[in-house]
A and B are shown apart, each in its own frame.
Chain A
Amino acid sequence: MQINMKLPKSIKENQENLLNKVYSAVELTQSYLDRIEKYDKELNAFITVTADIALAKAAEIDKLVDQKGKQAFVDQPLLGSVVAHKDIYLTKGIKTTAASNLLKDFIAPYSASVVERLEAAGVIMIGKLNCDAWAHGSSGENSDFGPAKNPWNIQYSPGGSSSGSGVAPAADFSLFSTGTDTCGSIRLPANYCGLVGLKPTYGAVSRYGVIAMASSLDTVGHITKTVEDSKRIFEVTRGSDGYDSTVVDSPKYNEKLDPGKKIRIGIPKEFFIEGLSPEVKDSVMNATKKLEKMGAELVEVSLPHTKYAIDVYYVVQPAEVSSNLGRFDGVRFGENRDAFGEEAKRRIMLGTYVLSAGFYDAYYLKAMKVRSIIIKELNSVFKDVDALIAPVAPTPAFKLGEKISDPLQMYLTDIFAATANLSGIPSLAIPSGFTQDNLPLGFQLMAPRFSENLLFDMGMKFEEQVNILDKQPNLES
């Protein structure tokens, strides 16, 4: 076994390799484990590595492939795909910490619905990933287990809050990862690590068994190397499980897209403002031109109230955080509330304040009303266009330490992410190139609720033209 074994870039490639015995599932898993062993001391993507569980599952898969051949991959559409879960997904019998000292010894008594569905579809779980504690943050630095580092340059943040979920597929520690997106926490790490990140429609995927942050905004999704993989995984995870009442089985997922239809893409001018890095702006505009060449029609649109999205978010989210984190009292599980880190306390304080007597109307009620205006504007724009294109964040990856002492600056990282969460629409972050300093660049496509299939279709056409996967981060330096 050698550490330089060529690891797969997609589910399809991996399954062909397993079927054609290019490698066995055990060899594949061991190869990922060797890389984690060698490189993760520096990158710090994992909180827990589940080597024994992964190798046992891989051995089972090798038997299955021997017995059933091709049929094994029909029965289990993700068979042999190696996954790592953000450590706020409960995994039965395995430590689940939310990257917080408060849950440092917590053993999950059951698994999240998404974890179970992925298991049933044949994945190999290799471990649990680092993140900002309780998913509070944009850089990964709020983890009580130390920050994860960007594989493209270890001086830089991989983006947060799903920091390890960006690092793992980028560093070939897993084929894909799971994450959560309450305000960019999947799209930002995907964007900063050169990967594809799906923030699904609110209500598309069950959140049962995923530690709640802000319940009117939380979505669970995944980070992959390709758009096609994102679609394959979404087809397994979406749909109601009976345990999350917000999940809707939308008939839209069964509609066939009309291949002849000209797609109209809106460019919202409020997302191309002062403060946007020129490199990010140029790369998004280049992507826009490529989409136009592929047959899309471009339209400038205006969403004037989206400039308030981040302010609405920083009222609604802490309010819901203060409520959701109320259950952590150290009685049934975990340490007591003194074990909350600085950022969790800050958000609980902010949320408690905006909900408290005398301030509720001015902050919380006001924010919920502005949220209605933002949604109305979006609904109206989507009558004219099929999708929107925008930057994921104002800058490429920033340096670790750059924003951590200034909470407001850290919060403003997510100004372009908030709109999708506040309105519940899906957004797909797609990589498109690199900065002069060799840091990944990309953009996000947003579409009306339950229009993931349109995003996947556009994304797959784009990645046929622009594929950055030939370039790999150099972990040796």
Chain B
Amino acid sequence: MSNLTQTQVKHVAKLAKLNLTQTQVKKYKDQLSTILAHIEQLSQVDTANVLPTSQTTGLTNVFRADQIIEKRILPLEDVFLNTKNKDKNQFVVDAVVNKDAN
């Protein structure tokens, strides 16, 4: 399982929205395979009837009042401070839907 193929690496890169060069694909294929081989020691552990842990302090749901906290509202100037591409107080993004598709 731990020997990744180049096809798998390319597929994962696509899922993660990363553009990789062919050199990087080869390098990550080898490096990730080595790391995964180490991780696979986990299969030696008997985890039957063990529940997974995702949180360590025993918190369940945390609620807060449904109200506006003035202090946390950023002025528009600050909201757009770091963008390279805005148009009339809106962020410009690449098209997500192809206009020719029906």
Q: Is B101 an interface residue (CB 8 A)?
A: no
Residues of B35-86 whose CB lies within 8 A of A: 35-36, 38-39, 41-43, 45, 47, 50-57, 59, 62, 64, 69, 72, 74, 78-79, 81-85
Query: B residues within 8 A CB of A107?
Result: 81-82
Q: Which residue of A lies closest to B49 (CB)?
A: A369
Interface flags, A72-108, vs B, CB<8A=1, else 0: 0000000000000000000000000000000001110
Partner of A408, one of B34, B43, B56, B74: B34
* A368 close to B42 (CB less than 8 A): no
Chief secondary structure at chain B's binding surface: loop
| Complex alpha-carbon distance, A359 and B19, angstroms | 22
CB <8 Å contact, B57 and A248: yes
Q: Which residues of B contact A365 (CB under 8 A)?
A: 52
Contact across chains for B57 and A314 when beta carbons are under 8 A apart: no
Closest residue of chain B to A363, judged by CB? B39
In the complex the two chains form, is A331's CB within 8 Å of B24's CB?
no
- Stretch of A32-40, A50-58, A348-356, A381-389 contacting B (4+ beta carbons < 8 Å): A348-356
CA separation between A368 and B43, bound complex, in Å?
A: 12
Contact check, A245 vs B39: say whether CB atoms are below 8 A apart: no
- Measured CA separation A352–B54 after assembly (Å): 17
CA distance A371 to B56 in the complex (A): 10
Q: Could you say which of A362, A366, A369, A407 contacts B51, with CB atoms under 8 Å apart?
A: A369
Interface-facing stretch out of A177-185, A265-273, A332-340: A332-340
Q: In chain A, what residue has the closest Cβ to B25?
A: A349
Verify if A109 is at the interface (C-beta below 8 Å from B).
Answer: yes
Instruction: From B1, B4, B13, B56, name the one whose CB has the most chain A CB atoms within 10 angstroms.
Output: B56
* B16 sits at the interface (CB 8 A): yes
Interface centre among A245, A366, A375, A424 (most CB of B within 10 A): A366
Contact A350 B83, CB 8 Å, known A245-B59, A314-B39: no
Q: How many residues of B contact A (CB 8 A)?
A: 50
Task: Provide the A355-378 mask, 1 if CB < 8 A to any CB of B, else 0.
Answer: 010000011011111111101000
The answer to whether A322 touches B16, judged by C-beta atoms less than 8 angstroms apart, is yes
Of the candidates A349, A362, A422, the one having the most CB atoms from chain B within 10 angstroms of its own CB is A349
A315–B39 touching, CB < 8 Å = yes
Cβ A353 vs Cβ B32 within 8 A: yes
Which one, B24, B38, B56, B82, contacts A332 given CB within 8 A? B82
Do B57 and A352 have beta carbons less than 8 Å apart? Answer: no
Contact yes or no, B47 A369, CB < 8 A: yes
Complexed CA–CA distance, A408 and B62 (Å): 37
Whether A423 sits at the interface, judged by CB under 8 Å, is yes
Would you call A371 and B52 a contact (CB within 8 A)? yes
Q: How far is the CB of B60 from chain A (nearest CB, A)?
A: 11
Contact B38–A311 (Cβ < 8 Å): yes
Q: Are B39 and A368 in contact, with the CB atoms below 8 A?
A: no
Chain A residues with CB below 8 A from B57, complex form: 201-203, 246, 248, 424, 449
Q: What separation, in Å, do the CA atoms of A349 and B10 have in the docked complex? A: 10
Report chain A residues within 8 Å CB of B95. none
Docked pose: A306 CA to B34 CA in angstroms: 21
Complex: A372 Cα to B48 Cα, angstroms = 12
How far in angstroms is the closest Cβ of chain B from A236?
Answer: 19
- CA gap between A350 and B4 in the complex, in Å: 11
In the assembly, what is the distance between CA of A363 and CA of B18, in Å?
22
- Which chain A positions have C-beta within 8 A of B91? 331-332
Contact of A262 with B by CB under 8 A: no
B17 within 8 A of A: yes
Q: How far is the CA of A305 from the CA of B46 in the complex (A)?
A: 11
CB distance from B30 to the nearest CB of A (A): 10
Q: Could you tell me if B31 and A373 are in contact, using CB atoms closer than 8 angstroms?
A: no
A242 within 8 A of partner (CB): yes
* Contact status B64-A242, CB under 8 Å: yes
Q: Check A407–B18 contact: CB distance below 8 A.
A: no
Q: Is A434 part of the binding interface, using a Cβ–Cβ cutoff of 8 Å?
A: no
Most chain B CB within a 10 A radius of its CB, from A109, A356, A407:
A109
Which residues on the A side are within 8 Å of B55 (C-beta)? Answer: 216, 246
Residue from B20, B45, B69 having most chain A Cβ neighbours under 10 A: B45
Report if A366-B43 is in contact (Cβ < 8 Å); known contacts: A337-B17, A348-B16: yes
- Give complex CA distance A369, B47 in Å: 6
Contact across chains for A372 and B17 when beta carbons are under 8 A apart = no
- Which of chain B's residues has its CB closest to A109's CB? B78
Query: Which 7 pairs show the lowest CB-CB distances between chains A and B?
Result: A424-B56, A368-B52, A333-B82, A369-B47, A109-B78, A245-B62, A352-B16
Q: List 14 A-B contacts (CB under 8 A).
A: A216-B55, A322-B16, A333-B82, A334-B82, A337-B19, A350-B36, A352-B12, A353-B36, A356-B15, A363-B36, A363-B39, A373-B47, A373-B50, A411-B35
A366-B45, A368-B54 known; 5 new pairs, CB 8 Å cut-off, are A331-B93, A338-B19, A353-B12, A353-B32, A370-B42
A interface residue numbers (CB < 8 A to B): 105-107, 109-110, 201-203, 216, 242-243, 245-246, 248, 305, 308, 311-312, 314-315, 322, 329-334, 337-338, 340, 342, 345-346, 348-350, 352-353, 356, 362-363, 365-373, 375, 407-408, 411, 422-424, 449
B residues with CB within 8 A of A: 1, 4, 8-9, 12-13, 15-20, 24, 28, 31-32, 34-36, 38-39, 41-43, 45, 47, 50-57, 59, 62, 64, 69, 72, 74, 78-79, 81-85, 91-93
